[in-house]
């Protein structure tokens, strides 16, 4: 049975060893849950922010709703031309008002593989640059203001926002949601990194990948990002994103980022490596890690070594942490491995992929080690599974563990 994408569970935080059980429950959530794995892109939903009676922010000559719509349509047209086999859906393709909840519902009903929300920013005239958001806890007042401004449009909805009265965007709720969809959050971060890298190539100031409690991101159940393409309150930036030439450049940059993301997900090759990306957002696993510090450590190196030793024969089900994906083979003592010893190499889609030692059937330990690898500098590290030496999907691996 498919999960109701509009009614997401609000789960509490736990401490100690119970936390590891809680994390595992979140990861398995539903043994037949199709959202636990993703290996292809078939449907993209592009959301042009604001619209109709909601103009968004504005500059001297442009309004956010028009700027967002123009870039959304340009991006969609580029994707359709490059990949005619893909389905592109717009939450709006004209100047109309669409409720926040409905924007997410459109993506959920379509079972989209990616949700791209396009906005423009507002602050002091001196503020400039691009930033891309994923769902999370704001770490600064400015991030909170961005989310609050975008969430405030619910007041313009027919019921004045009454339908969101009991909607929980508390830190615990956001953490629980992020953990529940941790695989897709990793993918959202990956796409956000690609976006920021391409914007930077245009000469735009890279304000980084950030996190905040955007309602529209909370309610979607697929990799989702919200792009703040620039500040309309900055005359120079308005002159860029407020005019067609700049909008074309931004749309093309988004297309290139999408192409890289698609290749990464589908394993068709990408020259980028996951260890070279920077991210300025805090993940829920970091909070989990802080809780664990007060407990007797199952992540103790001696304990981890024993688990690793038991899986060295490479038979049966083994969870590992993938840390690199490269288009060229490297040696076991390469500096790119940052001293990680006895790594496991496999080739897929023309790429050489490098993983840490195995953790047997213990998914919890693999998740814990993923956090350590990210702290070590492998920002795109994620958990993978192998059965008798062959890579399998996480969903299948979890079903095997359950049996």
* Separation between Cα atoms, residue 38 and residue 265, nearest integer Å: 7
Does a structural domain hold residue 10?
no
For helices 16-28 and 171-180, angle between their N-to-C axes, nearest 10 degrees: 60
Q: Are 140 and 169 found together in one domain?
A: yes
Residues 165 and 309 in one domain: no
- Whether residues 136 and 211 share a domain: the answer is yes
The answer to whether position 288 is within a domain reads no
**Quick one: 195 and 82 in the same domain?**
yes
| Last-in-domain residue among 221, 247, 276 | 276
Domain end (from 246, 276, 306) = 276
Residue 259 and residue 385 share a domain: no
Q: Are the C-beta atoms of 200 and 249 separated by less than 8 Å?
A: no
pTM of model > 0.75: no
pLDDT at 99: 87
* Region 286-298 average pLDDT: 36
Whether 233 and 380 share a structural domain: no
Same domain flag for 230 and 317 = no
What are φ and ψ of residue 89, in 5° steps?
A: -120, 135
- Does the residue 287 lie in any domain? no
Q: Tell me: the pLDDT tens digits for 9-59?
A: 333 333 333 343 344 344 433 333 444 456 789 999 999 999 999 999 999
Which pLDDT band, with edges at 50, 70 and 90, does 122 fall under?
Answer: very high
Residues 357 and 230 in one domain: no
Q: What is the pLDDT of residue 364?
A: 83
Confirm whether 283 is domain-assigned: no
Do 266 and 335 lie in one domain? The reply is no
In this predicted structure, what is the pLDDT of residue 182? 59
- Give the distance, in angstroms, between the CA of residue 395 and the centroid of all CA atoms in the same chain: 18
Q: How far is CA 104 from CA 11, 22, 66, 142, 351, in A?
A: 21, 27, 20, 24, 34
3-state secondary structure 144-169: HHHHHHHHHHHHHCCCCCHHHCCCCC
Q: What is the CATH number of the domain that holds 192?
A: 3.40.630.40
Say if 182 falls within a structural domain. Answer: yes
Do 151 and 191 belong together in one domain? yes
CA pair distance 93, 105, nearest whole angstrom: 16
**282 belongs to a structural domain:** no
Domain enclosing residue 28, as ranges: 16-276
Say how many domains are in the chain.
Answer: 2
Is 387 domain-assigned?
A: yes
Query: End of a domain among 276, 304, 322?
Result: 276
Nearest partner of 284 among 171, 399, 195, 206, judged by Cα: 171
State percent of the chain over pLDDT 70: 66
Other Cβ atoms less than 10 A from the Cβ of 145: the count is: 15
In this structure, the answer to whether residues 267 and 304 fall within a common structural domain is no
- Classify residue 79: in a domain, yes or no: yes
User: Rounded to an integer, what distance in angstroms lies between the CA atom of residue 6 and that of residue 50?
Assistant: 20
Shared domain for 152 and 38, answered yes or no, is: yes
- 215: tokens are 């309602």
Tens of pLDDT, residue by residue over 299-349, are: 443 333 434 443 456 678 999 999 988 878 888 888 889 888 889 998 876
């Amino acid at each position: 049975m498919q999960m109701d994408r509009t009614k997401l569970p609000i789960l509490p935080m736990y401490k100690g060893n119970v936390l590891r059980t809680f994390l595992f429950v979140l990861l398995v959530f539903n043994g037949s849950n199709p959202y636990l794995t993703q290996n292809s892109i078939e449907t993209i939903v592009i959301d042009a922010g604001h619209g109709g009676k909601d103009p968004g922010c504005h500059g001297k000559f442009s309004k956010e709703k028009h700027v967002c719509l123009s870039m959304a349509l340009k991006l969609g047209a580029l994707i359709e031309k490059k990949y005619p086999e893909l389905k592109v859906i717009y939450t709006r393709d004209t100047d109309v008002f669409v409720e926040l909840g409905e924007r997410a519902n459109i993506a959920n009903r379509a079972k989209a593989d990616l949700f791209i929300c396009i906005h423009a920013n507002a602050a002091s005239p001196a503020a400039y640059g691009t930033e891309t958001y994923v769902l999370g806890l704001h770490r600064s007042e400015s991030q909170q203001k961005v989310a609050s401004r975008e969430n405030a449009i619910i007041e313009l909805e027919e019921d004045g926002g009454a339908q969101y009265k009991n909607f929980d965007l508390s830190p615990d709720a956001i953490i629980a949601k992020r953990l529940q969809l941790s695989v897709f959050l990793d993918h959202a971060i990956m796409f956000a990194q690609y976006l920021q890298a391409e914007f930077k190539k245009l000469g735009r100031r890279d304000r980084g990948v950030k996190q905040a409690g955007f309602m529209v991101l909370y309610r979607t159940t697929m990799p989702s990002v919200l792009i703040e393409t620039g500040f309309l309150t900055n005359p120079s930036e308005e002159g860029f994103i407020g005019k067609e030439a700049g909008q074309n450049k931004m749309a093309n940059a988004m297309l290139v980022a999408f192409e890289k993301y698609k290749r990464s997900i589908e394993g068709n090759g990408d020259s980028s490596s996951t260890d070279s990306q920077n991210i300025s957002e805090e993940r829920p696993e970091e909070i989990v890690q802080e809780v664990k510090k007060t407990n007797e450590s199952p992540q103790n190196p001696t304990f981890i070594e024993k688990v690793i030793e038991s899986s060295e024969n490479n038979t049966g089900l083994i969870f590992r942490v993938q840390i690199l994906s490269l288009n060229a083979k490297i040696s076991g003592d390469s500096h790119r491995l940052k001293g990680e010893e006895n790594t496991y190499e496999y080739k897929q889609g023309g790429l050489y992929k490098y993983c840490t030692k195995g953790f047997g059937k213990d998914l919890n330990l693999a998740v814990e080690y993923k956090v350590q690898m990210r702290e070590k500098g492998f920002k795109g590290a994620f958990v993978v599974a192998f059965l008798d030496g062959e890579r399998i999907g996480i969903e299948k691996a979890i079903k095997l563990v359950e049996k």
